[in-house]
Amino acid sequence: MPGLVVALLGAGYFWRETRRAVQDAAHREALALAEFIDSTFTLPQADRTHPHSAVAEVIGSDTRLLRSVAELHVLTPDGRIRWSRQRSEEGTLHPEAARLTALTPETARSAREGTEVVRPLGGSDCVGCHTGDTAQRLGVLQVRLSEPLLSRQLSAVFQGAMGATLVFGVVLALAMGLALHFFFGRPLRRLTAIMRRAEEGDFLVRAETRGTDEISRLGAAFNQMLARLTSMKAEEIDTHRDLALANEKLALKEKLEERITELSLLFDVAHSLNSTLELSELLERITRLVVERLKIPNFSIMLRNADGLLEIRSAWPQHRGSEGLTFGIGEGACGRAAETLRAVYLPDVGDRSSIFAKRNLVGGTDHGSLLAVPMVHMDQLLGVMNFQRPEVAGFSPEELELLMAVADQAATAVKNARLHSEAVLLTMTDPLTGLPNRRHLFGRLDAELARAERYGTPLSVLMIDVDHFKWLNDAAGHRTGDEILRKVCDVLRPCVRKVDTLARYGGEEFMVLLPQTAKEGAVAVGEKLRRAVLDSAGLAVPTQPTGHVTISIGVASYPLDASDQETLVDCVDAALYASKRGGRNKVSAYEPGMEIHPGRERGPHAGRSTDNSRPLPPAGVAKA
């Protein structure tokens, strides 16, 4: 096909060059013929009656020279035909008169139908016959030669060659098309169909590989590729199956790790919370664990107070003024959680359409999510834990379960701390009067003596005894005696300082520790207490000898009277006995020698309480 195209192009090129050469020859011939005809006008005229008879003779002659002349006209300046090979045209206006008279000087042009030469007539050669301006411009000579025979023959030859070439090209194209169809197109279509099926996922299909041509080799290579792809697909299926199994195991492992982390956290919470029984320290630990381990930026823990309200006892961030705020049961999310004993979760606290929109927050921000979890122990509400994050819907379902478990652990720890506080209170407090008992008293006495010894400050001790308390019990009964003891405590309690310790020593006896108080100041305090009891209207009792409850007080000081605890107690006890011996209802300061006569006028234990809370020495045995 490229050779055929080159042949066609070459034939066309040679045809064009041949036509150009023939046209050039015809052009030169036309110019020479025009020159020849023009020269005939200068010949002598044989017939004067018909000017330029020589021209007529030349035109009329049947010479071989003029056989190719198709048109020959002599035109006047106004375009009329003056001479013509066709006599009938003489005197008529030439159809192209305007164009021919306008062409000056001599003009020659070649066209498909022949070659035309237009030559102006006139000049010095015509002066003999023509005069003036007429001799200078007589008209134009038009000569048109028909297409040369050689040109027509060459055209016929080239056209035949071109036609044969085109026919040969068509036949060759048909042959090539059939060959491409049977030997290239059909195998390629079959291979393309196989490839399309493979593209759709059918890796088991195979291409035909008959023959040794390129398409067969391409099909064989494609089959090898499909075989590899089939193997890779099988491996991929196995890999996906193994990967799915691994993902399941990994998911189970992650869930197990999450559970282990939750259990570890719960264990840490339980261990940390159960390592202390002090309620304030316990609340601080709960807050620290929630903030550090659970990453809760806003947290508060509320306990139910004596009035039944939810009071914030610990909060994070600290020092924001939220400690001490109270919420009623049913008020806000925390109150709703306390009322229903179920967790209340608000994914968006900024949503004012919530039924808990009023006072949802507990010292947190006004956006994000809030979770209020009640702390319940044995169906008893202890408080509420409030968790808040700044993100909307910031708690996942797994975190909700974990935080509720933390709240249960905290509830158990808070209950244990309260039980411990109550137990400690029972062991350190007298149940009748609410004052510190003897155990607490001697613990405080040891601490105050150590502080006084370290800083060199005095410490005074008062021992108080209710006068004729046995008569009161015998006359009015023990219930009245217990009531009298409570009233005496109510009178004495506001008369001492906060740094002082008023405790029940045993029976109807009380003791007051006065840190940094000398003996004289202690005697004044004793007088103040004695007068307060004497002046109390609630302590008027008709069964008493004086008609009113009175107290006797002994005073001793460290280091003036004693340098250790036992000696100091013995000294103040001896001073109390001195007040009893001196007539009761008085205050006696310890003086040396008082411990030698501790007895009383009606026996060693006359007027002393029959309460067994304080062991008394055997009768007749003096106190050390």
Instruction: Please check whether residue 586 is in contact with residue 579, taking contact to mean a CB–CB distance below 8 angstroms.
Output: yes
Instruction: Please check whether residue 288 is in contact with residue 317, taking contact to mean a CB–CB distance below 8 angstroms.
Output: no
Residue 510 has pLDDT above 90, yes or no: yes
Which of these ranges, 4-18, 125-139, 561-575, 598-612, has the smallest mean pLDDT? 598-612
Q: At what angle do helices 519-535 and 478-492 cross, to 10 degrees?
A: 130
DSSP state of 182: I
Instruction: Please check whether residue 230 is in contact with residue 203, taking contact to mean a CB–CB distance below 8 angstroms.
Output: yes
pLDDT tens for each residue of 46-64: 554 445 555 555 555 555 5
Looking at residue 446, its pLDDT comes to 93
Long-range Cβ contact pairs of 174-182 (< 8 A, separation 24 or more): 176/1
Residue 329 has pLDDT above 70, yes or no: yes
Looking at residue 616, its pLDDT comes to 35
Looking at residue 612, its pLDDT comes to 34
Residue 75 bridge partners (DSSP): 81, 140
In the chain, the domains with their CATH numbers are 2-147 (3.30.450.20), 276-427 (3.30.450.40), 432-596 (3.30.70.270)
Residue 562 has pLDDT above 70, yes or no: yes
pLDDT tens for each residue of 355-405: 454 454 454 567 789 999 999 988 899 999 999 988 888 888 888 888 888
Looking at residue 462, its pLDDT comes to 96
Neighbours of 572 (CB within 10 A): 28
pLDDT tens for each residue of 207-247: 877 777 888 888 888 888 888 888 888 888 899 999 999 99
What the block records as the tokens of 28 is 């030169």
Residue 607 has pLDDT above 50, yes or no: no
Looking at residue 365, its pLDDT comes to 61
The mean per-residue pLDDT over the stretch 602-610 comes to 37
| 612 phi/psi in degrees, rounded to 5 | -90, 10
Mean pLDDT of the chain, nearest integer: 80
pLDDT tens for each residue of 67-91: 667 777 788 878 788 777 777 777 7
For residue 369, what is the enclosing H or E element?
A: strand 369-377
Looking at residue 518, its pLDDT comes to 94
**At which residue do the structure tokens 């259990």 appear?**
263
CA angle, 185 then 189 then 194, to 5°: 150
Better-predicted residue by pLDDT, 144 or 130: 144
Which of these ranges, 23-37, 175-189, 438-452, 481-495, has the smallest mean pLDDT? 23-37
Q: What is the DSSP string of 389-401?
A: ESSTT---HHHHH
Q: Please give the Cα distance from 397 to 369 (Å, whole number).
A: 13
Q: For the chain, what percent of residues have pLDDT higher than 90?
A: 26
Residue 617 has pLDDT above 50, yes or no: no
For residue 442, what is the enclosing H or E element?
A: helix 438-455
Q: For the chain, what percent of residues have pLDDT higher than 70?
A: 83
Better-predicted residue by pLDDT, 559 or 177: 559
Q: What is the pTM of this model?
A: 0.46
Which of these ranges, 131-140, 222-231, 274-283, has the smallest mean pLDDT? 131-140
pLDDT tens for each residue of 444-495: 999 999 999 999 999 999 999 999 988 888 888 888 889 999 999 999 999 9
Q: Sorting pLDDT into bands at 50, 70 and 90, what band is 124?
A: low
How distant, in Å, are the alpha carbons of 254, 306, 537 from that of 159? Answer: 90, 126, 155
Among 261, 290, 288, which residue's Cα sits nearest to residue 407?
A: 290
Q: Sorting pLDDT into bands at 50, 70 and 90, what band is 606?
A: very low
pLDDT tens for each residue of 526-537: 999 999 999 988
Q: Sorting pLDDT into bands at 50, 70 and 90, what band is 416?
A: confident
How distant, in Å, are the alpha carbons of 15, 416, 439, 462, 568 from that of 557? Answer: 151, 41, 21, 9, 7
Looking at residue 608, its pLDDT comes to 40
